[in-house]
Structures are given as structure tokens and as C-alpha cells.
């Protein structure tokens, strides 16, 4: 289903892409498996209290993060691209509210537009749908996560953050069953703990961490050279501790 572009959304998207160019990230980077040997993408879901959690998680990523990040946040139907605009000011990655059939590029964050489900197609594009609400929501987290598991199998990392319903738990189950990796925000740190708690109780979460720590783990998983560099720095610092001053 082709989404009818509004002037506000089109303007926001154009501004976002110009911002990406000004950061030196305007070059198109189609996503290929060699971007990261283990993972192809990160999918993130949030609801009540989700903006702060999403911003904290993705704010921990470096500007050269090699994977695409697809985000579903439960939005009011009148959002008009404001979530994407605000997130773009809060994180290092360029943020795009996509159109239907838009190719997925590495190093960008894609946010589902209000009142549209966002899905991943096997050809590496985004599909937008006005199918029925799932978990009383459109966009729905389960819809994104399940489509990502079908498209990328075990090369997906799924993250459920703060929210007030159970959306995301079944999508996490699909990602985990396909061989992917799953994270939930520690409910004690979430503004609305219901959503991460539901995923944890369903037994579909690999790691439970605070939002910023999830972001750091994403860097470790997607950028093994950064992890190796950190180990080298820690080893050097430890060695230096025994050197007389």
C-alpha cells in the first residue's frame, strides 16, 4: 500500500536527508551482508515512555554504526513526522520516516509513520501497510519484528523498550526462533515496564539491560573491531598500572 505523502512528512524527510549530508553521511550505503558478518539490522520497539528510551539506546551508537535501525514507536495518528524529527535531533544517526518501497540503507534509523505498519521485505525495502491494528496499535512492533525475522532470519537484533502493553513479545519470539538476538529494557528503568516485562515473562529475551547499556551492546555486536579495540585499550591500561611513574 503506497502511503500518500503529506507536505509535513515530505518536508521533514527532506530536512533529515539534508542533515545527513551535512554530517558527511549523505552517501547512499546499500546494506549488504558484508557490512557485519553476524547481523544485518536492528529492530526496536517502544510505546509509553518510549521516546526517552529509544533516544538513550540509539544515542549510544556512533555516527558510523554499520547497520540500519528500524524503529516502531506507538504514535498518535496526528504525529505528522514529529517523532522522527525529534529523534533526529537526539541521536547521531540520520533519521528517516520512509515511504513505501524505500530501500533500506546502512547507518540510518527508519521510524514507522503514524497509522502505518512498517514491514521489511526480502528485497531489502520497506513496506508500509494500513492492515488492521495489532495489539491495538498501528504501527505495531510485532508486525515489524516478525517481518524482519522472515526477511533476515537469524541476522536480526530485536530490542523492546518502555511501553504499556504486550506488543513486541510475539515478535521477539519470532526473531529468537529464527536465530536472532533479543534485548529488553530492564523494567526497573522503564517509564512503563509492562512491555519489556511481558517479553521477559514470555521467555524470549536474551539480555535485560538499561537503555544506554543496550546501545553499547549493539555496538559490541555490530562493530567487532570496536570491541577488539576496547579490549586492547583495557589491556594497555592494565599493563600501564604496573609501570613505575
- Among all residues, which ones are annotated catalytic? 47, 74, 167
SS3 69: strand
Q: Are 70 and 120 in contact (CB under 8 A)?
A: yes
Reported for 85-92, long-range contacts at CB under 8 A and 24+ positions apart, including other chains, are 85/12, 85/15, 85/16, 86/51, 87/51, 87/54, 87/55, 87/58, 87/111, 88/16, 88/19, 90/55, 90/58, 90/59, 91/55, 91/58, 91/59, 91/61, 92/58, 92/59, 92/61, 92/62, 92/63, 92/65
SS3 114: coil
Report which secondary-structure segment, H or E, holds 29. Answer: none
- CA–CA gap between residue 120 and residue 152 (Å, rounded): 9
Other C-beta atoms lying within 10 Å of the C-beta of residue 245: 3
Amino acid at each position: 500500500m503506497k502511503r500518500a505523502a503529506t507536505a509535513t512528512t515530505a518536508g521533514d524527510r527532506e530536512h533529515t536527508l539534508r542533515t545527513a549530508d551535512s554530517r558527511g553521511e549523505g552517501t547512499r550505503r546499500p546494506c549488504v551482508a558484508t557490512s557485519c558478518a553476524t547481523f544485518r539490522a536492528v529492530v526496536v520497539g517502544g510505546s509509553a515512555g518510549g521516546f526517552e528510551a529509544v533516544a538513550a539506546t540509539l544515542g549510544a551508537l556512533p555516527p558510523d554504526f554499520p547497520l540500519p535501525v528500524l524503529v516502531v514507536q506507538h504514535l498518535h495518528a496526528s504525529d505528522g513526522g514529529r517523532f522522527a524529527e525529534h529523534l533526529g535531533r537526539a541521536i547521531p544517526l540520520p533519521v528517516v520516516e520512509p515511504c513505501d518501497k524505500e530501500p533500506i540503507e546502512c547507518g540510518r534509523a527508519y521510524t514507522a509513520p503514524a497509522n502505518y505498519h512498517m514491514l521489511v521485505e526480502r528485497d531489502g525495502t520497506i513496506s508500509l501497510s494500513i492492515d488492521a491494528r495489532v495489539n491495538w496499535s498501528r504501527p505495531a512492533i510485532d508486525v515489524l519484528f516478525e517481518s524482519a525475522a522472515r526477511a533476515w532470519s537469524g541476522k536480526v537484533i530485536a530490542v523492546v523498550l518502555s511501553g504499556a502493553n504486550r506488543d513486541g513479545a510475539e515478535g521477539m519470539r519470532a526473531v529468537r526462533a529464527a536465530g536472532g538476538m533479543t534485548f529488553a529494557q530492564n523494567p526497573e528503568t522503564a517509564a512503563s515496564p509492562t512491555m519489556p516485562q511481558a517479553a521477559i515473562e514470555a521467555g524470549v529475551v536474551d539480555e535485560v539491560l538499561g537503555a544506554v547499556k543496550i546501545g553499547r551492546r549493539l555496538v559490541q555486536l555490530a562493530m567487532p573491531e570496536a570491541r577488539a579495540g576496547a579490549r586492547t585499550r583495557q589491556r594497555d591500561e592494565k599493563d600501564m598500572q604496573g609501570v613505575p611513574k
